Amino acid sequence: MDTDVIIGQGVVYFEQAWGFAKGWLLSPAAWTQFGLLVVAYVAALFVTRKILPTVQKFLTPAEDQDTYLAKARRFVLMFAPLVLPLLAYALTGIGESVTRSVFGSGEVIAFGKRVFMFLAARILVREIITDPLMKVLGRYLLVPIAGLYALGFLDEVMLKLDETVVPLGNLSFSLLFLIRFVLVGGAIFWLGRWSNEQSSSFIKNQSEMRPAMRELTAKTAEIAIFGVAFLLLMNIMGISLTSLAVLTGAIGVGLGFGLQKIASNFISGIILLLEGQATVGDYVELDGGEAGTIVKMTARAAILETYDGKWIVVPNEDFITTRVVNYSDSGSANRYEAPFSVSYGTDINLVPDIVEAAVAENPDVLKDPFPPDCELRGFGDSGVDFAVEFWVNGIDDGRHKYTSDVLFRIWNALKDNGIEIPYPHRVVELRDTRKNPDT
C-alpha cells in the first residue's frame, strides 16, 4: 500500500513537471528570452573580439615606463578579462527589460544574466586578484555568494543569515553583517595597502628630502591612510565609534600592561626618524654587538643586514637607550689603517713617500679630510713597524675591502723600490752547561 502511494505521488510530480516543461517549450515568451540571451552573448563576444585588442594596445605602456600614468594603465588593463561577461550582463539586462515589457515575464533571461555575473566573479578571483588574502576572501565568500545569486537563492540565504544573531557581550550582530564586514573591510584595506605602496614609492623617490625625513613622511602617510580606511569602514558598516567604548577600553588596558615594549619601540622609532641619527643605508654597530646596514625601519624595529647576508631585527628602543656607533651617518668618511714592516737594512726615511704615493693611487682613498699618512710605529723584533692611515667613504668590509687593496699596493711599491719586507727572525743560543771534567 505504501509503495502504491509513493508511486502515485511520483506520477503526480512527473505530470506537474512535464506540464511546466511543455508550457515552457511552447511559450513564445520563453523562446524569445532564450533567443535574446543567445543574441546578447554573441553580440558581447563580437564586440569584445573587435574592440578589446585595440583597447589593450592603447592601454599597454612600454616595458621600461614606470610613471604613474603607466602604472594606472597597467592597473586598468588587469580587468580586461571581465569585459566579455560584464558586457554580456549589460546586454542581457536590456533584453530582460524588453521581454518584461512585452510578455510580462523574464525569468529565463534573468537567470542567464545572473550566470554572466557569476562568471565575472569567478574570473575576478581566478585571473585578476593576486593578493593572497583577497584571493581567499574571493574564493570562499565572493564566488559562493555569486553562485547563490545565479541560482536565485541569495535573498533567502541572506534573510536566514540576517536572522541568525551572534551575541558578544553588550554587542550583537548577525552573520550577514559579519560577512559584509569581512568583504567590505578586506576590500577597503586592500585598497589602503595599495595606496600606501604607491605613496611610499612616491615619497622615497624624492631625493631632495633627507633619508630620515622620507622615512618619517612615509610612516605618517601609512598611519593616515589606514586610519582613514578604518573610519571609512566604520561609517560604511554603520558602526558608531561610541559603541566600541568598552572594547577600546579593554584594548587600552592591554596596551598599558602587556604591550609596553611595543609602545616604547613605536615612540622610539618616531624619535629616530625625527632626529635622523640612524636611517636606512647607514652602517651601525650597537653595544650588544649587532652590526650591519639598516635596510628597513618599521614601527617596531630596524632591520640590519650583515655582510654575510643575515638579517638582524633590532628593537627601536635599543637605538635610544644604548650606545650606537654610526659609521655611515649620511655618507661621512671613515679612517682606517694598514700596518706593515720593513727590514732593518732599509733607509726608513724613504718609506713614507713611497707608501703614501702608492696608497693615493687607490680611487676610493680620499684626499679630504686628510690624504694618506704613513707613520713610524716602532722597532719590532724582526723589522721596523709602520702603518699608513687613509680615509674612505664607506665601511672596510663586504663589497669594499679597502685595506686589502691598500696592502697589495704597499707590497708592490716596496718590491719595486727594492725594499725588503722582513719575515720573523729568532736567534737560538746554545749553551754547554756540562761541568769541566778536569776541575
Q: How does pLDDT run across 321-330, given as a tens digit for each residue?
A: 888 888 765 4
The SS3 assignment for 209 reads coil
Question: pTM of the full predicted structure?
Answer: 0.53
**Average pLDDT score over residue span 157-179:** 77
Extract the C-alpha cell encoding 380. Answer: 719590532
Q: Is the pLDDT of residue 235 over 90?
A: no
Q: Which band of pLDDT confidence, cut at 50, 70 and 90, is reported for residue 61? A: confident
pLDDT of the residue at 18 = 53
Same domain, 321 and 346: no
Q: What percent of the chain is modeled with pLDDT above 90? A: 11
Give the chain's end-to-end CA distance (angstroms, integer). Answer: 145
Domain boundary among 108, 131, 152: 152
The answer to the question of residue 435 being in a domain is no
- φ and ψ at 428, to 5 degrees? -105, 120
Give the total number of structural domains in the chain: 4
Mean pLDDT of the chain: 78
DSSP states along 303-337:
EEE-TTS-EEEEEHHHHHHS-EEES-TTT--EEEE
Residue at 432 is within a domain: no
5 in a domain, yes or no?
no
Are residues 403 and 385 both part of a single domain?
yes
Q: Which of 305, 326, 347 is the last residue of a domain?
A: 326
Instruction: Examine the domain organization and report whether 138 and 62 are in the same domain.
Output: yes
Residue 208 is part of which domain span? Answer: 184-258
The verdict on residue 157 lying in a domain is no
Q: What is the CA radius of gyration of the chain?
A: 39
**266: in domain:** no
The C-alpha atoms of residue 375 and residue 353 are separated, in whole angstroms, by 11
Query: Which candidate, 302, 300, 298, places its Cα nearest to that of 262?
Result: 300
Does residue 436 belong to any structural domain of this protein?
no
Q: What is the CATH number for 322? A: 2.30.30.60
Q: Verify that 140 and 203 share a domain, yes or no.
A: no
Last residue of a domain, one of 228, 258, 288: 258
CB atoms within 10 A of CB 381: 11
Least confident window among 53-57, 167-171, 200-204, 361-365: 167-171
pLDDT at 243 over 60: no
Q: How far is CA 138 from the centre of its chain?
A: 21
Q: What is the pLDDT of residue 357?
A: 92
Q: How confident is the model over 146-173, as a mean pLDDT? A: 80
Residue 359 and residue 295 share a domain: no
- What CATH number has the domain bearing residue 343? 3.30.70.100
Q: Who's near 333: CB < 8 A, 6+ residues apart?
A: 366, 368, 369, 391, 392, 393
pLDDT confidence of residue 411: 93
Which of these, 174, 182, 178, lies nearest to 138 by C-alpha position?
Answer: 182
CB-CB contact of 183 with 263 (8 Å)? no
Q: Looking at the structure, do residues 321 and 341 belong to the same domain, yes or no?
A: no
Are residues 318 and 347 part of one domain? no
Residues 319, 346 within the same domain: no
Cα(28)–Cα(304) distance, integer angstroms: 74
pLDDT confidence of residue 373? 92
| Residues 303, 401 within the same domain | no
pLDDT of residue 332: 65
Indicate if 344 and 299 belong to the same structural domain: no
Mind listing the pLDDT tens digit for each residue in 262-298? 777 777 777 777 776 777 777 888 887 778 888 888 7
Given a cut of 50, whether residue 1 has pLDDT beyond it is no
Q: Is residue 13 part of a domain?
A: no
420 Cβ contact list (under 8 Å, min separation 6): 342, 343, 345, 346, 414
Q: Are residues 296 and 236 in the same domain?
A: no
Determine, yes or no, domain membership for 423: no
Give the chain's largest Cα–Cα span: 147
Task: Please give the Cα distance from 395 to 328 (Å, whole number).
Answer: 8
User: By C-alpha distance, which of 226, 218, 181 is closest to 198?
Assistant: 218
253 and 314: one domain?
no
Q: Which residues pair with 390 in a beta bridge?
A: 336
